[in-house]
Structure 1
Amino acid sequence: MERQFVSQLGHNSPVQQVFLASDKQLRPNRNGNLYLQVELSDRSGMVQARQWNASEEDYKAFENGDYVYVDGATQLFQGNVQLIATRIRRAREDEVDEADYMTLESTTINEMRTRFVEIMRGIKSAPVARLAAAFLDDEAFMDKFCRAPAGMKNHHAYQGGLLDHVLSLAELSLLVAPRYPNLDGDKLLLGVFLHDAAKVDELTYERDIAYSDEGQLLGHMAMALTMVDQKAAEAVKKDGMPLPDKLLVEIKHMIISHHGKYEYGSAKLPMTLEAVALHHLDNLDAKMASFTQLMKDCPNVDSPWTQYFSQIGRKLYKGEVGQK
């Protein structure tokens, strides 16, 4: 059977193929019978799967991050496609083509990295450039930065997603900053670079995406403050020149305020022009990515409208079918 990617799965389609498994749970239904719930993904997206009347053996047959071969069929549930599996087993090596599970190719990631480094090396302010260089020159950090996702599910939730997101913000910053003379474009670029930088350690992402213990306990904003202090110390040690305390405070403020509201996890509300700009650009890029994915995953392929999404309180208009 020719592979169908998650984004191509429709209602009542038979499925016999390999997916990447994550977030598996063995749960009881209302009658106390156990069922297996697991997220299945490929490079196009993710689908929820359930296996009814499951056992402990079914649960232990594979681990999160394994490639699994699934027999089953799809159905619509509350407007979304879900997969009802009759069997899930760990896939054999000869059944797996890892390219089917990589959203971004390595050549694309390398091109994005080159462009991003070019932008950051263009910073004119010496203190800002020195702090940026402390991160850019750290090969181990940059390797993780270019592989990490930007999140678990909401947006850019794939390997290379963090770089994809941050490069988009950097390009937006180059367009926006010149429009506002009182806005410091160099500080904004550094805030763009570092606002989610600690996701390299907050998340694990060798295959499936999950929280590290440190990420679960502290979160990326708190972790990033430590990273800034460490890299600032490295920059000072390298050339013997101090970094302005005010600069470090303003960069840290951008990090802890970039979610924009207390209820969204910000420790502070944005209080500088650069922090305000970062929050709104970050929100714009995240929303565009997540809404695009919702449209892409919508099972209403013959309608210009998506189904109603309770998480955003609306339907989305995709445009006339067959038109861009």
Structure 2
Amino acid sequence: MTRTPINELTDGMTLAQSFQAADKQLRVNRQGGKYILLKLSDASGTIAAMMWNADEAIFDRFDRGDYVHCQGRTQIHNGALQIIVTDVERMDASEVSLDEFERFDANQAEQNLSRLRELLATLSQPWLIRLADAYINDESFVLGFRQAAAAVTNHHAYPGGLLEHTLSMMELARLVGPRYSGVDTDLLLIGAFLHDLGKIDELRSSGEISYTDRGQLVGHIVIGLQQLTEKMAEVEASSGETFPAELRYQLEHLIVSHHGMLEYGSPKIPVTLEAVALHHIDNLDAKLASYTAIIDRDIAADSNWTNYTPAIGRKLWKKK
């Protein structure tokens, strides 16, 4: 069955094809009528969908993560493309081409992981080398890391996105650190590596990207600190020495302050040069990835500008 990838859909198309149901919610409108709010996905991206005049029987036809056959049409609503679904039925996995829905690029992940190992190999401080080895030689950690997403919606929100974001930040750390004599490049590099590792357990990357129970209750900053404590204990056990207290505190500070501001979720604001640099590198990479995604999926009629995006408070110029 020929299908049109989500990133190739345009306004006014009539559809009768397969999607993966990334999310579904049964809601009630102001008049008491029920409708289903859907998030449909494939390997090329995700799209919102609505099914009006729905009920529990239709809602229970399929579960989150199932493949579904949808009939309907595309339309633009508030500047974004969506699908108005008129019929939906569950499909068996044998009825679809799985490669049309797999968002994880295993080959790219292996390339990214290989480059990340190269960057960690440039560390010169013995304790940081041991710490990096404790992470990267842990097969269970690496398996989770290579497939984890960096976010649910904002940036690098796809399997393998956390590794891509982390590697990008580490590349930037190697460029930025040597430019400033007061910055410890080793510390900044390991901070870029460590800062978001808690997201491996905070987010569920298989099927719909969503928060785990631990992620909802604890969050990636605290989870990242717990991971760091465990790895430091492993280093101490293998070396027979105590991890230097001041270095421990600096590493912990890099994790707890990387959001930059208390209102953005950081328990502490950055107070070391490495922490200040880490926050801005993180913000730069996340913002550029997020804004690029907005431009790529924009469907504005104006070829020069995107639609106004409330989340960032502006239109973006689209490079010709």
Shorter-chain TM-score: which interval? over 0.9
1:253-268 equivalences under 5 Å are 253-268=253-268
1:281-292 equivalences under 5 Å are 281-292=281-292
Deviation at 1:304, TM superposition (A): 1.6
1:56-135 equivalences under 5 Å are 56-135=56-135
Query: What does residue 212 of structure 2 align with?
Result: 212
Query: What does residue 15 of structure 1 align with?
Result: 15
1:129-168 equivalences under 5 Å are 129-168=129-168
1:300 aligns with 2:296: no
Q: 1:189 to 1:239 in 2, by over 3 A?
A: same
Q: TM-score, normalised by structure 1?
A: 0.95
Please give the alpha-carbon distance, in whole angstroms, between the structure 2 residues aligned to 1:193 and 1:63.
Answer: 36
Q: CA RMSD in A?
A: 1.3
Query: What does residue 224 of structure 2 align with?
Result: 224
1:195 aligns with 2:195: yes
Quick check: 1:102–1:159 contact (8 Å CA) kept in 2?
Answer: no
Stretch of structure 1 that moved more, 216-225 or 53-62:
53-62
Deviation at 1:295, TM superposition (A): 0.6
Please give the alpha-carbon distance, in whole angstroms, between the structure 2 residues aligned to 1:97 and 1:273.
Answer: 50
Please give the alpha-carbon distance, in whole angstroms, between the structure 1 residues aligned to 2:316 and 2:148.
Answer: 29
Deviation at 1:302, TM superposition (A): 5.7
Query: What does residue 54 of structure 1 align with?
Result: 54
Quick check: 1:62–1:90 contact (8 Å CA) kept in 2?
Answer: yes
Quick check: 2:16–2:71 contact (8 Å CA) kept in 1?
Answer: yes
Deviation at 1:150, TM superposition (A): 0.3
Quick check: 2:104–2:147 contact (8 Å CA) kept in 1?
Answer: no
Deviation at 1:256, TM superposition (A): 1.1
Q: TM-score, normalised by structure 2?
A: 0.96
Deviation at 1:104, TM superposition (A): 4.4
Please give the alpha-carbon distance, in whole angstroms, between the structure 2 residues aligned to 1:4 and 1:301.
Answer: 21
Deviations 1:29-82 (A, max 9, x none): 111111000111222222111111111122111222222221111111111111
| 3-state SS, counterpart of residue 155 of structure 2 | coil
Please give the alpha-carbon distance, in whole angstroms, between the structure 2 residues aligned to 1:186 and 1:67.
Answer: 46
Query: What does residue 251 of structure 2 align with?
Result: 251
Deviation at 1:237, TM superposition (A): 0.6
Deviation at 1:98, TM superposition (A): 2.5
Quick check: 1:20–1:208 contact (8 Å CA) kept in 2?
Answer: no
Quick check: 1:45–1:297 contact (8 Å CA) kept in 2?
Answer: no
Stretch of structure 1 that moved more, 215-224 or 20-29:
20-29
Deviations 1:256-313 (A, max 9, x none): 1111111111111111111111111111111111111111111126612111111111
Q: Which amino acid aligns with 1:275?
A: A
Deviations 1:157-201 (A, max 9, x none): 100000011011111111111101111111111111111101111
| 3-state SS, counterpart of residue 35 of structure 1 | strand
Please give the alpha-carbon distance, in whole angstroms, between the structure 2 residues aligned to 1:230 and 1:301.
Answer: 53
Please give the alpha-carbon distance, in whole angstroms, between the structure 2 residues aligned to 1:302 and 1:316.
Answer: 11
Please give the alpha-carbon distance, in whole angstroms, between the structure 1 residues aligned to 2:63 and 2:109.
Answer: 28
Query: What does residue 271 of structure 2 align with?
Result: 271
1:240 aligns with 2:244: no
Deviation at 1:14, TM superposition (A): 1.3
| 3-state SS, counterpart of residue 75 of structure 2 | strand
Q: Which amino acid aligns with 1:45?
A: G
Give the total of aligned pairs: 320
Deviations 1:226-262 (A, max 9, x none): 1111110011111212211111111111111111111
Please give the alpha-carbon distance, in whole angstroms, between the structure 2 residues aligned to 1:274 and 1:43.
Answer: 37
Stretch of structure 1 that moved more, 62-71 or 157-166:
62-71
Quick check: 2:105–2:160 contact (8 Å CA) kept in 1?
Answer: no
| 3-state SS, counterpart of residue 168 of structure 1 | helix
Q: Which amino acid aligns with 1:223?
A: I
